[in-house]
């Protein structure tokens, strides 16, 4: 395996750089519980249950590689920072709590304080879908939330993972308590690498590296599973995101066979601008959940 090919593969599949920072109570005045639960393959997942005890619950699945339940921090990222300040997901959690939601914020496998996965490599949702199902199953079978309605807040790789989770037998489509989803910036590995300027030949060599070491196929897409999503879905995408091909977003939206809306704000030409935006301006996602999650 060539050094350059391995380096490129590591950009999107090597774990690290996703610390859990902030504290719901100390930093935002939010009551919370530390929780753990297991995915079906035995991987132990760690999270917060913020504003516990409500009869409607938002399950947040974060983006990948450099993110955890608490968001993104530039600390420790060296000179090549994706964003220059903390993106604090507890900001939108506070807005949701104020509307009477409990919020399950958890770390996917190989991220934050959750355990390593059965593979050491991040797979862009291909394996992480098990974590989404585990989170929904945890709330659905929790004695305090058996009658609660659930909304899914699924971000980037978290959106990919959620979409894969709708495409498997006995997947998320079987949970009648899920009432709505906010899907934020789904993205494939190949489009991301193309967006940062990698030539196709190098992407193919990096994909070969990933496959040989038991990782994901960079060309595998969650789009085949979108048709199985069975709840109203708000699709959120920064129109100026340099890494996204809008054909992919349009395909995702077109294949949704439910009540849907495409929200395309024009933000900074930076992928993380969207994640910073909905923390500062949560009205759209809160409004969507308020419409359907009762």
In DSSP notation, the chain reads --HHHHHHHHHHHB---------HHHHH---EEEEEEE-TTS-EEEEEEESTT-SEEEEEE--SSS-BTTEE--TT-TT--SSSS-EETHHHHHHHHHTT-EEEEEPPTTSTTSPP-SSSB--TTTTTHHHHHHHHHHHHTSTTTTT-EEEEEEETHHHHHHHHHHSSTTSGGG-TTEEEEEEE----HHHHHHHTT--HHHHHHHHHHHHHTT---TT--GGGGGGG--S-EEEE--TT-TT--HHHHHHHHHH--SSEEEE-----SSTTHHHHHHHH-THHHHHHHHHH--
Cβ neighbors of 23 (< 8 A, separation 6 or more) are none
**Can you list the residues of the chain whose pLDDT is less than 50?**
none
Cβ neighbors of 268 (< 8 A, separation 6 or more) are 238, 240
Q: What CATH number belongs to 3-292?
A: 3.40.50.1820
Phi, psi of 54 (to 5 degrees): -85, 165
Residue pair 7/117 in contact (Cβ under 8 Å)? The answer is no
Q: What is the pLDDT of residue 1?
A: 57
pLDDT tens sequence across 58-109: 999 999 999 999 999 999 887 778 899 999 999 999 999 999 999 999 999 9
Q: What is the pLDDT of residue 119?
A: 92
Phi, psi of 14 (to 5 degrees): -90, 130
Calpha distance 195→103 (Å, rounded): 33
Residue pair 267/240 in contact (Cβ under 8 Å)? The answer is yes
Q: What is the pLDDT of residue 62?
A: 98
Domain boundaries along the sequence of the chain: 3-292
Tokens of 30: 């939010």
Residue pair 149/54 in contact (Cβ under 8 Å)? The answer is no
Tokens of 88: 């604090």
Calpha distance 284→213 (Å, rounded): 41
Backbone Cα Rg of the chain:
18
- Which residues sit opposite 68 in a β-bridge? 71
- Report pTM: 0.97
How far, in Å, are 145, 175, 224 from residue 28 at the CA level? 24, 31, 39
Calpha distance 72→225 (Å, rounded): 28
């Amino acid at each position: 395996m060539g050094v350059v090919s391995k380096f490129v593969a590591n950009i999107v599949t090597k774990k690290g750089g996703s610390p859990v920072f902030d504290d719901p109570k100390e930093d935002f005045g939010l009551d919370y519980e530390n929780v753990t639960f297991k995915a079906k393959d035995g991987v132990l997942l760690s999270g917060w249950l913020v504003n516990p005890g409500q009869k409607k619950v938002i399950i947040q699945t974060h983006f990948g590689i450099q993110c955890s339940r608490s968001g993104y921090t530039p600390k420790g990222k060296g000179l090549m920072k994706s964003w220059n300040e903390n993106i604090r997901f507890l900001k939108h959690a506070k807005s949701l709590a104020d509307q009477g939601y409990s919020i399950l914020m958890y770390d996917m496998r190989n991220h934050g304080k959750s355990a390593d996965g059965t593979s050491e490599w991040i797979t862009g949702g291909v394996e992480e879908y098990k974590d989404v199902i585990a989170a929904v199953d945890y709330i659905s079978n929790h004695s305090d939330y058996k009658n609660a309605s659930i909304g899914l807040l699924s971000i980037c790789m978290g959106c990919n993972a959620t979409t894969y989770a709708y495409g498997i037998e006995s997947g998320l489509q079987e949970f009648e308590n899920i009432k709505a989803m906010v899907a934020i910036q789904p993205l494939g590995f190949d489009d991301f690498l193309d967006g940062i300027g990698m030539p196709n030949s190098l992407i193919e060599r990096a994909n070969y590296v990933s496959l040989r070491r038991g990782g994901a196929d960079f060309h595998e897409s969650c789009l085949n599973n979108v048709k199985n999503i069975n709840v109203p879905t708000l699709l959120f995408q920064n129109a100026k995101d340099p890494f996204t091909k809008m054909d992919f977003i349009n395909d995702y939206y077109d294949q949704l066979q439910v009540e849907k809306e495409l929200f395309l704000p024009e933000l900074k030409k930076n992928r993380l601008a969207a994640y910073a935006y909905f923390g500062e301006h949560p009205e759209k996602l809160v409004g969507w959940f308020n419409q359907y999650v009762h």
